[in-house]
Amino acid sequence: MNRGRRHFMTTTALTAAPLAAAAAASATAPVQALPAVRARRLQPGDTVALVNPSSARHEREPYAIAIETLQALGFKVREAPNLRARYGHLAGTDAQRASDLNTLFADPGVHGLLAFKGGSGCNRILPLIDYGLVRRNPKFVGGYSDTTALLSALNAQTGLVTFHCPMGTSEWNDFSVQSFRGAVMQAQALTLANVPEREDALVPSGGRITTLHGGRAQGRLLGGNLSVLASLAGSPYWPAWDGAILFLEEVNEAIYRVDRMLSTLKLAGVLDRLAGVVLGAFTNCEPGEGYGSLTLDEVFDDHFQPLNVPVYAGAQFGHIKRKFTLPVGLEVEMDADKGTLRFLQPAVT
């Protein structure tokens, strides 16, 4: 190795070491919860913008259905400038998708933002969002699945209460609409409780809750899609977990992967800091190929029973037709024996 190359590598190492140490310290530093910021309630006649922070959708009809749905709720509808853009599987480049969010938050004529669909890629745009702008212009933001990244980042960086709720491409049935209206439009301090689904059977087979550990607890409601949430670990968009109520849902993940993602939360120190846990639908989470698998029940027991905090499963949210609207960052009370979540104040003003 020549002298010039040795000097370059030594200089680079000396420069990089402090930067790496600073980055590591920043990633592991405790996150402080910001005071909750509640957006104004949405009202009939308000303008709600459809945005797409994740994957593209190529067919025309879902856009028409989403627009008609928001109109049926009483809103005027604005399409984000790049709503129908495409970059690979994504709904436009990272810059386009982040620009849509920043533009709509800056527009006083837009009163709320609803994600059109999920997929993947939302976490790519988080560093490009103008969080100061969001803090100065709090608005309703809703969605679920991959939108978990956006909901968590906005809450962690600004304190804005965001909403895990149906998206533009979701089925807006009566159950989902009533929950959405109560939380977002009527500013009710709701108590969310499953509606059992019996049809003509002797006992309900749907909408059931399972109590893993009884009791009641209060705390800020944080969570969303498990895999997306775990992908934020160690980032500036990771919530402050002390005393929180964690809610989780998932879809199309083998059980061993669910176990691994819950282990990530455990190793990151999240599970041991919680006041309680609410588990929603883990849709199509099956054992997969191999010699065998733990069941979901066993995985949940392994991770949550030792916490000695209230835990219940089966709450009606996630990749299912009938969905609660859940306020991310709001103080709530859970009752694991009754299977209920109660807002301790309205989620909007």
Question: Model confidence over 141-182: pLDDT tens digits?
Answer: 999 999 999 999 999 999 999 999 999 999 999 999 999 999
Instruction: Tell whether the model's pLDDT for residue 134 goes beyond 80.
Output: yes
Angle of the 255-267 helix axis to the 296-304 helix axis, nearest 10: 10
The pLDDT mean for the chain works out to 91
User: Same domain, yes or no, for 243 and 275?
Assistant: yes
Number of H helices, E strands in the chain: 9, 14
CB 249 within 8 A of CB 224: yes
| DSSP-based three-state secondary structure for 244 | coil
Predicted local distance difference test score (pLDDT) of residue 290: 64
Euclidean distance between CA atoms 122 and 229, whole angstroms: 11
CATH number of the domain residue 245 falls in: 3.50.30.60
Q: Is the pTM of this model over 0.85?
A: yes
> Which among 122, 110, 124 has a CA at the least distance from the CA of 151?
122
Predicted local distance difference test score (pLDDT) of residue 29: 42
Instruction: Tell whether the model's pLDDT for residue 137 goes beyond 80.
Output: yes
| Parent domain of 295 | 191-343
User: Same domain, yes or no, for 64 and 100?
Assistant: yes
User: Same domain, yes or no, for 211 and 336?
Assistant: yes
User: Same domain, yes or no, for 178 and 277?
Assistant: no
Euclidean distance between CA atoms 255 and 303, whole angstroms: 13
Q: Pick from 128, 157, 185: which residue ends a domain? A: 185
Q: What type of residue sits at position 297?
A: D
Instruction: Tell whether the model's pLDDT for residue 26 goes beyond 60.
Output: no
Predicted local distance difference test score (pLDDT) of residue 253: 95
Predicted local distance difference test score (pLDDT) of residue 19: 36
Instruction: Tell whether the model's pLDDT for residue 11 goes beyond 80.
Output: no
Predicted local distance difference test score (pLDDT) of residue 313: 98
User: Same domain, yes or no, for 303 and 224?
Assistant: yes
In a domain, 141, yes or no: yes
Euclidean distance between CA atoms 58 and 326, whole angstroms: 29
User: Same domain, yes or no, for 339 and 238?
Assistant: yes
pLDDT band at 246 (very low <50, low <70, confident <90, very high): very high
CATH number of the domain residue 74 falls in: 3.40.50.10740
Instruction: Tell whether the model's pLDDT for residue 14 goes beyond 90.
Output: no
Question: Which of residues 1 and 188 earns the better pLDDT score?
Answer: 188
User: Same domain, yes or no, for 269 and 298?
Assistant: yes
DSSP structural state of residue 197: B
> Which among 311, 294, 38 has a CA at the least distance from the CA of 160?
38
Instruction: Tell whether the model's pLDDT for residue 37 goes beyond 90.
Output: yes
Q: What type of residue sits at position 292?
A: G
Euclidean distance between CA atoms 347 and 331, whole angstroms: 9
CB 191 within 8 A of CB 202: no
Predicted local distance difference test score (pLDDT) of residue 22: 37
Residue 3 token pair: 């002298």
Q: What amino acid positions are annotated as catalytic residues?
A: 145, 249, 319
pLDDT in tens, 328-348: 999 999 999 999 999 999 999
Residue 54 token pair: 């994740």
* Gyration radius of the chain over CA positions: 21
User: Same domain, yes or no, for 200 and 171?
Assistant: no
Predicted local distance difference test score (pLDDT) of residue 32: 83
Q: Pick from 133, 154, 185: which residue ends a domain? A: 185
**How many domains does the structure of the chain reveal?**
2
What is the share, in percent, of the chain residues with pLDDT greater than 70?
Answer: 91
Euclidean distance between CA atoms 150 and 143, whole angstroms: 9
User: Same domain, yes or no, for 220 and 97?
Assistant: no
Instruction: Tell whether the model's pLDDT for residue 24 goes beyond 50.
Output: no
> Which among 178, 151, 157, 131 has a CA at the least distance from the CA of 247?
151
Tell me whether strands 276-283 and 311-313 are parallel, antiparallel or unpaired. parallel
User: Same domain, yes or no, for 120 and 201?
Assistant: no
DSSP structural state of residue 242: T
* Alpha carbon distances (Å) from 59 to 84, 92, 174: 10, 15, 26
